[in-house]
A and B are shown apart, each in its own frame.
Chain A
């Protein structure tokens, strides 16, 4: 396993010291009166304007009580158990907040629908390389106030894999969505034993927790579900322009949320999601790939590990708007380095244009990138048989290995074959015509949608009842 380590022990200590210093001397604003009062009662220093300062002792205590590892599951009792804080990297999908779908056949980019979301979640469910699934898009054919609740139902219904991500924006979303998760398993006690959702909320950089975000974190913690704290500053805009500055700001923000949650529910399973955003400094739009971002993300994984908290990175995204060479190298490069940093997560895959655009074909295309990486990580076997000494002697000089039984036997064991990438000749390509790569992706999508059925779920009527209630009561 290759390692990509950026920070020395001195670096880690220095950055941690900076983070503690800023938490103590600058603070983070919590726009949530109850949270502020609670923090005050529990040792934080409150200033005017609800600015909360955290004494280092409070932070250290909280870091001690956070579990170094926790288990995460799919809703299906037969699904594999994942270990957050362990050695493995889990590959994730989804997290498209923009709500656009790129139709690779027509090249048209259009608003996505619930049906698109359903199909893509099913595809993610079918593809073995993806360990966890996220909401693939924000469907536009649902009223905004209900879009996350409807998306949660799509996720629950169409995948039995752990649901890593969806936008849970306020207390209403959190209440309905966790109720649905609990109902699927037969109650909150069951959900706490085998959590398959990992609600998250993000600080608004720089240094402000908005009320809705704290409501989501609070509710998730009170329900006893592993909770994720996100910091996503935009480099040079809502965060420092420097890589190390971004690192400091992200950890200040995330630790402020972590301390709050640990005070609320000591020992709550948690993860951190440092999510640096880059910018195109001409149009001011967000970017998600650059060498700097790759470095910041890798360093943040190291820092999280140093602090003893499961830390999830988002990588494998691209700023390319279309499936292109740029998309390929941005996804592959960022993922590879983060694997070297032993990131807990890699992904979300399946998107273009940072988190804005998805398509079913993209999810299968990206799954090949992941497959390739996983194949390489598995290494190769070294046995008397594979060393082939006898074979080499038998074949001798100048002859062929092609006809051997040994070749036929080991071929499928030693070689990965792409379903989508094209490996043939110019002659074949010309004969096939069209865009073979995209055609292959489309064929795979069709095949999956025709044949794959997600594992049956628990109590679907109970989940439907909750969604119907949301339709009646949630403001449009």
Chain B
């Protein structure tokens, strides 16, 4: 019975958008003997799904999404991942997702929210940052055996770089081994189809849905992320 109370506390802490509170409640749960993996799945991920739903319904806004995402990322990075490593347990991941803003573009707010939501949904997110050279997308995808590569462009003049990423994946022999998703203000479904990519979403919540859908369709696997 104590278990469920602890997870509800974690969910509620995330919904206060207070990073320190999230960390405190998580540490308390750990000290009560809760499993870090379950804390993630039944506490943090559940909270972010709720945040996502409230965002979709118009109750919450971008600043709330960012605050929730950052609170979760912080507690993952500083508290839970070290604990998972220490206990040598495995977190189920949906796969490796390489993410970045394309070369020549320094906008990253949206991309950061997408990264956090993917992370919370269970992906291992490798965020290359902003103004990322095309070759870096390819190199990291190869290195981590990525299931999906996603790139964001906020300027219409950055759009061609998304096409370049598709070409580079083909040239690098990786195209058949992963899925490509693109997003950003000037990006459309038509553009993504035109350049031969696989998925598009107009916000972070949508991105998670599309990412999961792409993997299910292609591999029929969701659990261990292996190809």
B65 to chain A, nearest CB (A): 10
Number of interface residues of A (CB under 8 A): 12
In B48-82, the 8 Å CB interface with A consists of 55, 58, 61-63
Complex contact B110–A284 (CB within 8 A): yes
Complex contact A144–B157 (CB within 8 A): yes
Q: Which of B62, B63, B185, B203 has the most CB of A within 10 A?
A: B62
Nearest to B64 among chain A residues (CB) is: A281
**Binary interface profile of B, 139-167, with partner A (CB < 8 Å = 1, else 0)?**
00000000000000000110000000000
Partner of B156, one of A98, A282, A284, A285: A98
- Is A224 among interface residues, defined by CB-CB distance under 8 A? no
A475 to chain B, nearest CB (A): 14
**Residues of chain B contacted by A282 (CB below 8 angstroms):** 55, 58, 61-62
- Is A26 among interface residues, defined by CB-CB distance under 8 A? no
Nearest to B56 among chain A residues (CB) is: A282
Complex contact B109–A284 (CB within 8 A): yes
- Is B202 among interface residues, defined by CB-CB distance under 8 A? yes
A99, B62: Cα distance in complex, Å: 27
Partner of B63, one of A98, A144, A236, A285: A236
Complex contact B156–A281 (CB within 8 A): no
**Residues of chain A contacted by B58 (CB below 8 angstroms):** 282
A147 to chain B, nearest CB (A): 10
A430 to chain B, nearest CB (A): 39
- Is A10 among interface residues, defined by CB-CB distance under 8 A? no
A13, B58: Cα distance in complex, Å: 39
> How many residue pairs, one in A and one in B, have C-beta atoms under 8 Å apart?
22
**Residues of chain B contacted by A99 (CB below 8 angstroms):** 156
Q: Which of A241, A283, A285 has the most CB of B within 10 A?
A: A283
A210, B83: Cα distance in complex, Å: 42
**Residues of chain A contacted by B62 (CB below 8 angstroms):** 279, 281-282, 284
Q: Which of B156, B157, B185, B203 has the most CB of A within 10 A?
A: B156
B211 to chain A, nearest CB (A): 19
A285, B107: Cα distance in complex, Å: 12
A39 to chain B, nearest CB (A): 24
Nearest to B62 among chain A residues (CB) is: A281
Partner of A283, one of B63, B156, B157, B203: B203
- Is A237 among interface residues, defined by CB-CB distance under 8 A? yes
A284, B202: Cα distance in complex, Å: 11
B167 to chain A, nearest CB (A): 18
Complex contact B109–A283 (CB within 8 A): no
Nearest to A237 among chain B residues (CB) is: B109
Nearest to B160 among chain A residues (CB) is: A144
**Residues of chain A contacted by B157 (CB below 8 angstroms):** 144
A236, B67: Cα distance in complex, Å: 13
**Binary interface profile of B, 99-119, with partner A (CB < 8 Å = 1, else 0)?**
000000000011000000000
A98, B110: Cα distance in complex, Å: 20
In A234-285, the 8 Å CB interface with B consists of 236-237, 241, 279, 281-285
**Residues of chain B contacted by A98 (CB below 8 angstroms):** 156
A144, B55: Cα distance in complex, Å: 37
**Residues of chain B contacted by A144 (CB below 8 angstroms):** 157
**Residues of chain B contacted by A237 (CB below 8 angstroms):** 109
B81 to chain A, nearest CB (A): 28
B154 to chain A, nearest CB (A): 9
A279, B62: Cα distance in complex, Å: 10
A113 to chain B, nearest CB (A): 16
Supposing A98-B156, A237-B109 touch, asked if A283 and B202 sit within 8 A by C-beta, the answer is yes
A285, B58: Cα distance in complex, Å: 15
Complex contact B202–A281 (CB within 8 A): no
**Residues of chain B contacted by A285 (CB below 8 angstroms):** 185
A203 to chain B, nearest CB (A): 14
B53 to chain A, nearest CB (A): 14
B56 to chain A, nearest CB (A): 9
**Residues of chain B contacted by A283 (CB below 8 angstroms):** 185, 202-203
A154, B202: Cα distance in complex, Å: 36
B29 to chain A, nearest CB (A): 32
A97 to chain B, nearest CB (A): 10
**Residues of chain A contacted by B61 (CB below 8 angstroms):** 281-282
A100, B203: Cα distance in complex, Å: 23
Nearest to B185 among chain A residues (CB) is: A285
Q: Which of A236, A279, A282, A283 has the most CB of B within 10 A?
A: A282
**Residues of chain A contacted by B109 (CB below 8 angstroms):** 237, 284
The 4 closest A-B pairs by CB, nearest first: A281-B61, A281-B62, A284-B62, A284-B110
What are 14 residue pairs bridging A and B, where the CB atoms are less than 8 Å apart in the complex? A98-B156, A144-B157, A236-B63, A279-B62, A281-B61, A281-B62, A281-B63, A282-B55, A282-B61, A282-B62, A283-B202, A283-B203, A284-B110, A284-B185
